[in-house]
Amino acid sequence: MKRIILLLVVISSVLAAQSQVVRPKLVVGLMVDQMRWDYLYYYYDEYGEDGLKRLLRDGYNCENTLINYVPTVTAIGHSSVYTGSVPALTGICGNDFVVDGRTTTSVKDTTVTTVGAPNGKGGQQSPHLLLATTIGDELKLATNFQSKVIGIAIKDRAAILPAGHSADAAYWYDRKNACFVTSSYYMERLPQWMEEFNKQHPLPDNHNLNPTNEGVTMTIDLAEAAIDGEQLGQDDITDLLAVSISSTDAIGHEYSTRGKENHDVYMQLDRDVARFLRILDTKVGRGNYLLFLSADHGAMHNPNFLRSHKMPNGGWDNGKTFRELNGLLESKYGGTKLVKAIMDSRIYLDREQIDARNLDIDAIKADVLKELCKEPTIQFAVDGDRISEATLPPVLKERILNGYNRERGGDLFVVLKSGHLGWRFRDDYHGTSHGAWNNYDAHIPLIFLGWGVTPGRTDRAIFITDIAPTICSMLRIQAPNCAIGNPIDMK
């Protein structure tokens, strides 16, 4: 009888084990800010075998991954990857936008305080403006909040938005205090391992870590410290680590897409990716982690560089347009600065003034559109409330609609001609930027590696909003609550 009972216990244990949902120990998101898709191949011959080449060799490479909204900027890109959604639904309409008549950053929160530095406002940030859940939030819900979720980056928005609302922590670099900080949204004091990290890692004398190759290495150092300090991936409850490399963006803005500086930072990235994979192999174990690499946006080639090779180029003098529009509206309607701001090709009208003076906003919009259409650098200009009625190529209409949030997305949107920056530049200008619908800004890398991934590649059209549903499908958890993407079939 005892043998029968023992056999039944063993069978019951085996069946219970077989019925458990199988998940990786750790999910790692590795975002590379401003990484154009073609950097995978432009520098390919110089990459080592164990970094980006390992991802290409051993991972599943989605070669035709596109951003399906405008503008293509950092805060939106990071939030869209982890929510599977677009600004129309997440409320993250840019790095900066207008909420209730006031300009704010995507993560600014004056109700919280800095943690990890003695003074300053560098930690007054949180995800409170994000209107959607993230992969991490859904993982927390699926594991009864036993999973650990951590976000890490030099940029505050790149650490906070991916981590989501219920994250255990997000850490970012406070330039004023030359250290990594967090906010009281997450905790009242830095954990001991984070305090030790700040003590042991000297920072640049000018406190500007962002536009340096050392910023890449420091971010990976911090990711390793988080794995050790929080014991990420060390038990049977899946954890999530969201890492973003910010230095590539700062260097690209300063030196553009070509030249020594951009070359060197991608060589450093390749070395640090190889090191990071070795860290994960050793501390979590090959086959125990699921990693994806992607980017929040790409970048346009420098317009002077394009001009030297007889390619379309230019720049919109939006400051001049701002002044001219306000002059026109003042002469016709009175008041001052009826155009409140121009940000990331979005034009905000002063709604409070227009409502207080009982002005006809539709008439004001019509006047602004008429003037914008005279600007030679502008290809299209549309009323945010009438995007569906505009005469536009379908791909543009969809991306503008996806990027338009009624409360935060501005009143009008401008599409510049290809190869044009959103500001006036000089002949000695050697940097660049991003924000457009074009492939140079909207075509991003996407590679999955590790747990549950069979090496391969696809040229099928995939969107940035498909990343979160794919990860959640693999984990057998609900997709984020505003996700519009679809799981990628990696076969």
**Catalytic residue, candidates 74, 83, 90, 257:** 74
Residue 148 is classified by DSSP as: -
| 83: annotated active-site residue | no
- Distance from C-alpha of 7 to C-alpha of 9, rounded to nearest angstrom: 5
Query: Quick check: 154 and 210 in contact, CB under 8 A?
Result: yes
Query: Quick check: 160 and 180 in contact, CB under 8 A?
Result: no
Query: Quick check: 94 and 343 in contact, CB under 8 A?
Result: yes
Beta-bridge partner residues of 448: 60, 292
Quick one: angle between helices 260-280 and 247-255, nearest 10?
170
Give the sheet arrangement for strand 114-115, strand by strand: 114-115, 179-183, 169-174, 149-153, 239-245, 26-32, 289-294, 446-450, 60-62, 456-458
Query: Quick check: 216 and 269 in contact, CB under 8 A?
Result: yes
Which residues, at least 6 apart from 265, have a Cβ–Cβ distance to it below 8 Å?
A: 213, 216, 247, 248, 251
Q: Where are the beta strands (DSSP E) in 232-370?
A: 239-245, 289-294, 314-315, 339-343, 346-349
Q: Where are the beta strands (DSSP E) in 299-445?
A: 314-315, 339-343, 346-349, 378-383, 412-416, 420-421, 443-444
> What is the identity of the amino acid at 109?
D
* Residues acting as catalytic residues: 74
